[in-house]
Amino acid sequence: MVAGDLQFREFFAAEFGRLRGLGYLLTSDWAQAEELAQDALVRTYWVWSRVRGHERPAAYARKVLVNRHRSLLRRAVLEARHARGSRAEEAYQPDLGEDGLVLWAAVRRLPARQRAVLVLRYHEDLPEAEVARLLRLPLGTVKSLTHRALARLRAELGSPALERHGRGTQA
Protein backbone atom coordinates (compact mmCIF):
# COMPACT_ATOMS: atom_id res chain seq x y z
CA MET A 1 0.00 0.00 0.00
CA VAL A 2 1.31 3.43 -0.93
CA ALA A 3 1.95 5.79 2.01
CA GLY A 4 -0.31 8.45 0.44
CA ASP A 5 -3.18 5.96 0.23
CA LEU A 6 -2.79 5.11 3.90
CA GLN A 7 -2.75 8.82 4.79
CA PHE A 8 -5.89 9.37 2.75
CA ARG A 9 -7.66 6.42 4.39
CA GLU A 10 -6.93 7.97 7.79
CA PHE A 11 -8.08 11.38 6.52
CA PHE A 12 -11.27 9.81 5.13
CA ALA A 13 -12.03 8.08 8.44
CA ALA A 14 -11.46 11.31 10.37
CA GLU A 15 -13.39 13.68 8.07
CA PHE A 16 -16.29 11.74 6.56
CA GLY A 17 -18.63 12.24 9.53
CA ARG A 18 -17.92 15.95 9.74
CA LEU A 19 -18.41 16.46 6.00
CA ARG A 20 -21.62 14.42 6.08
CA GLY A 21 -22.87 16.57 8.97
CA LEU A 22 -22.06 19.76 7.05
CA GLY A 23 -23.85 18.34 4.02
CA TYR A 24 -26.91 17.62 6.15
CA LEU A 25 -26.93 21.13 7.55
CA LEU A 26 -26.82 22.50 4.01
CA THR A 27 -29.45 20.18 2.50
CA SER A 28 -31.55 18.84 5.41
CA ASP A 29 -31.39 15.46 3.67
CA TRP A 30 -29.16 12.59 4.80
CA ALA A 31 -28.96 10.93 1.38
CA GLN A 32 -27.85 14.16 -0.29
CA ALA A 33 -25.47 14.85 2.58
CA GLU A 34 -23.82 11.48 2.18
CA GLU A 35 -23.49 11.94 -1.57
CA LEU A 36 -21.94 15.38 -1.09
CA ALA A 37 -19.47 14.05 1.48
CA GLN A 38 -18.50 11.10 -0.71
CA ASP A 39 -18.14 13.31 -3.77
CA ALA A 40 -16.00 15.80 -1.85
CA LEU A 41 -13.73 13.03 -0.59
CA VAL A 42 -13.40 11.43 -4.04
CA ARG A 43 -12.47 14.79 -5.56
CA THR A 44 -10.01 15.37 -2.71
CA TYR A 45 -8.47 11.95 -3.36
CA TRP A 46 -7.90 12.83 -7.03
CA VAL A 47 -5.59 15.68 -5.95
CA TRP A 48 -4.39 14.12 -2.69
CA SER A 49 -0.67 14.31 -3.53
CA ARG A 50 -1.00 18.09 -4.02
CA VAL A 51 -3.52 18.78 -1.23
CA ARG A 52 -1.79 16.90 1.57
CA GLY A 53 1.46 18.79 1.06
CA HIS A 54 0.35 22.34 0.30
CA GLU A 55 -3.10 22.93 1.72
CA ARG A 56 -5.14 21.99 4.75
CA PRO A 57 -6.89 18.87 3.43
CA ALA A 58 -10.00 19.30 5.61
CA ALA A 59 -10.50 22.88 4.42
CA TYR A 60 -10.04 21.76 0.82
CA ALA A 61 -12.61 18.95 1.20
CA ARG A 62 -15.08 21.36 2.86
CA LYS A 63 -14.63 23.81 -0.02
CA VAL A 64 -15.26 21.02 -2.54
CA LEU A 65 -18.43 20.00 -0.67
CA VAL A 66 -19.79 23.55 -0.54
CA ASN A 67 -18.97 24.20 -4.20
CA ARG A 68 -20.59 20.93 -5.25
CA HIS A 69 -23.71 21.83 -3.28
CA ARG A 70 -23.82 25.21 -4.98
CA SER A 71 -23.47 23.60 -8.40
CA LEU A 72 -26.34 21.23 -7.73
CA LEU A 73 -28.56 24.07 -6.55
CA ARG A 74 -27.61 26.31 -9.45
CA ARG A 75 -28.35 23.64 -12.04
CA ALA A 76 -31.55 22.53 -10.30
CA VAL A 77 -30.32 18.94 -10.40
CA LEU A 78 -31.28 18.15 -6.85
CA GLU A 79 -33.71 15.30 -6.78
CA ALA A 80 -37.15 15.79 -5.34
CA ARG A 81 -37.10 14.93 -1.68
CA HIS A 82 -38.64 11.64 -0.71
CA ALA A 83 -41.53 11.72 1.69
CA ARG A 84 -40.17 11.57 5.21
CA GLY A 85 -40.20 7.98 6.33
CA SER A 86 -39.73 6.34 9.67
CA ARG A 87 -36.05 5.52 9.11
CA ALA A 88 -34.05 6.50 12.16
CA GLU A 89 -31.56 8.66 10.26
CA GLU A 90 -34.33 10.70 8.63
CA ALA A 91 -35.92 11.26 12.01
CA TYR A 92 -32.56 12.43 13.37
CA GLN A 93 -32.49 15.70 15.22
CA PRO A 94 -29.24 17.15 16.51
CA ASP A 95 -28.81 16.90 20.30
CA LEU A 96 -29.50 20.57 20.97
CA GLY A 97 -31.99 20.54 23.82
CA GLU A 98 -35.56 21.72 23.47
CA ASP A 99 -34.72 25.32 22.51
CA GLY A 100 -32.09 24.14 20.06
CA LEU A 101 -34.55 21.84 18.32
CA VAL A 102 -36.98 24.71 17.86
CA LEU A 103 -34.17 26.82 16.38
CA TRP A 104 -33.02 23.95 14.14
CA ALA A 105 -36.55 23.49 12.80
CA ALA A 106 -36.71 27.21 11.98
CA VAL A 107 -33.29 27.12 10.29
CA ARG A 108 -34.41 24.20 8.13
CA ARG A 109 -37.29 26.33 6.83
CA LEU A 110 -34.95 29.07 5.60
CA PRO A 111 -34.19 29.38 1.88
CA ALA A 112 -31.13 27.34 0.86
CA ARG A 113 -28.72 30.28 0.46
CA GLN A 114 -29.68 31.81 3.80
CA ARG A 115 -29.33 28.42 5.50
CA ALA A 116 -25.94 27.85 3.83
CA VAL A 117 -24.65 31.23 5.01
CA LEU A 118 -25.81 30.64 8.59
CA VAL A 119 -24.40 27.10 8.69
CA LEU A 120 -21.00 28.19 7.40
CA ARG A 121 -20.94 31.36 9.46
CA TYR A 122 -22.11 30.04 12.82
CA HIS A 123 -21.84 26.24 12.79
CA GLU A 124 -18.50 26.12 10.97
CA ASP A 125 -17.47 29.41 12.65
CA LEU A 126 -16.08 30.88 9.43
CA PRO A 127 -15.56 34.61 8.96
CA GLU A 128 -17.84 36.38 6.50
CA ALA A 129 -15.01 36.75 3.98
CA GLU A 130 -14.40 32.98 3.96
CA VAL A 131 -18.12 32.29 3.56
CA ALA A 132 -18.20 34.72 0.64
CA ARG A 133 -15.21 33.00 -0.94
CA LEU A 134 -16.66 29.50 -0.48
CA LEU A 135 -20.07 30.45 -1.85
CA ARG A 136 -18.57 32.71 -4.53
CA LEU A 137 -20.73 35.59 -3.40
CA PRO A 138 -19.83 39.22 -2.78
CA LEU A 139 -19.16 39.98 0.87
CA GLY A 140 -22.14 42.35 0.93
CA THR A 141 -24.43 39.55 -0.27
CA VAL A 142 -23.22 37.29 2.54
CA LYS A 143 -23.90 40.07 5.03
CA SER A 144 -27.38 40.74 3.65
CA LEU A 145 -28.25 37.02 3.52
CA THR A 146 -27.08 36.68 7.13
CA HIS A 147 -29.10 39.74 8.15
CA ARG A 148 -32.24 38.50 6.38
CA ALA A 149 -31.90 34.98 7.79
CA LEU A 150 -31.44 36.25 11.35
CA ALA A 151 -34.32 38.70 10.92
CA ARG A 152 -36.54 35.88 9.70
CA LEU A 153 -35.53 33.70 12.64
CA ARG A 154 -36.12 36.60 15.04
CA ALA A 155 -39.58 37.20 13.59
CA GLU A 156 -40.45 33.53 13.77
CA LEU A 157 -38.96 32.83 17.17
CA GLY A 158 -39.01 36.24 18.85
CA SER A 159 -35.74 35.54 20.65
CA PRO A 160 -33.81 38.32 22.40
CA ALA A 161 -30.70 36.08 22.14
CA LEU A 162 -30.97 36.28 18.36
CA GLU A 163 -31.25 40.07 18.65
CA ARG A 164 -27.91 40.23 20.44
CA HIS A 165 -26.34 37.68 18.12
CA GLY A 166 -27.59 39.47 15.01
CA ARG A 167 -25.98 42.74 16.05
CA GLY A 168 -22.62 40.97 16.23
CA THR A 169 -22.75 40.16 12.50
CA GLN A 170 -22.65 43.78 11.39
CA ALA A 171 -18.84 43.96 11.59
Do 67 and 125 fall into the same domain?
Answer: no
pLDDT at site 102: 79
Do 110 and 71 fall into the same domain?
Answer: no
Residue 90 lies in a domain: no
Q: How many whole angstroms separate alpha carbon 24 and alpha carbon 116? A: 11
Tens-digit pLDDT profile for residues 131-166: 998 888 999 999 999 999 999 999 988 855 555 555
Number of structural domains in the chain:
2
Q: pTM for the full model? A: 0.61
Do 56 and 7 fall into the same domain?
Answer: yes
Mean pLDDT computed over every residue of the chain: 80
The SS3 of residue 157 is helix
Question: Nearest-CA neighbor of 73 among 152, 135, 142, 141?
Answer: 135
19 or 99, which is more confident? Answer: 19
Average pLDDT rounded to a whole number, residues 99-119: 85
CATH number of the CATH domain containing 22:
1.10.1740
Is a pLDDT exceeding 70 seen at residue 171? no
Do 114 and 148 fall into the same domain?
Answer: yes
Q: How many whole angstroms separate alpha carbon 4 and alpha carbon 18? A: 21
